[in-house]
């Protein structure tokens, strides 16, 4: 059911900065949907979901400590762009909600 996330066709490439594309012109990350956790720019498919590097690393760290967080406000914190570090527990909860798991590569048995 993840197929709806893929934007079909090269819509726009708003590369307006002074950086050319010397190597592979396959700007993959630039056409990905935003991170499912925090809404920032995703860097790829990680642990079964489109996430940014930050949330990818966060989830990996969370697996090690088994998600033993405590909510800062004892309620559902607002996780979004620019405020993803407010509450680790609620951030981790979103990770689980969107189906992130240890086996995420080509094994989407969710």
Partner DNA sequence: CAATCAGGTCACGAGGTCAG
Partner DNA sequence: CTGACCTCGTGACCTGATTG
What residues line the site for DNA (CB under 7 A)? Answer: 20, 22-24, 26-29, 44-48, 52-58, 60-61, 63, 65, 84-85, 88, 91, 102, 104-107
Q: Provide the mask over 41-80, with x wherever binding to a second copy is found by CB under 8 A and - wherever it is not.
A: -------------------------------xx---xx--
CB of 79 to a second copy, least distance (A): 9
Burial class from Cβ neighbours inside 10 Å (0-12, 13-18, 19+) for residue 16 reads: exposed
Q: Spell out a b/e string for 50-72, using b for 16 or more CB atoms within 10 Å of the CB, else e.
A: bbbebbbebbeebeeeeeeeeee
Element (DSSP H or E) covering residue 93? helix 88-97
CB of 49 to a second copy, least distance (A): 18
Q: Contact 8/65 with Cβ under 8 angstroms?
A: no
Q: Applying CB under 8 A, which residues contact a second copy?
A: 72-73, 77-78, 82-86, 106-108, 110
């Amino acid at each position: 059911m993840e197929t709806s996330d893929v934007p079909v066709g090269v819509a726009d490439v708003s590369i307006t900065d002074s950086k050319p594309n010397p190597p592979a012109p396959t700007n993959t990350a630039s056409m990905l949907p935003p991170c499912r956790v925090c809404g920032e720019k995703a860097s790829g498919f990680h642990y079964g979901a489109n996430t940014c590097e930050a949330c990818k690393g966060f989830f990996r760290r969370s697996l090690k400590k088994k998600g033993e967080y405590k909510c800062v406000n004892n309620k559902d914190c607002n996780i979004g762009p620019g405020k993803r570090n407010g509450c680790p527990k609620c951030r981790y909860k979103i990770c689980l909600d969107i189906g992130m798991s240890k086996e995420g590569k080509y094994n989407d048995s969710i």
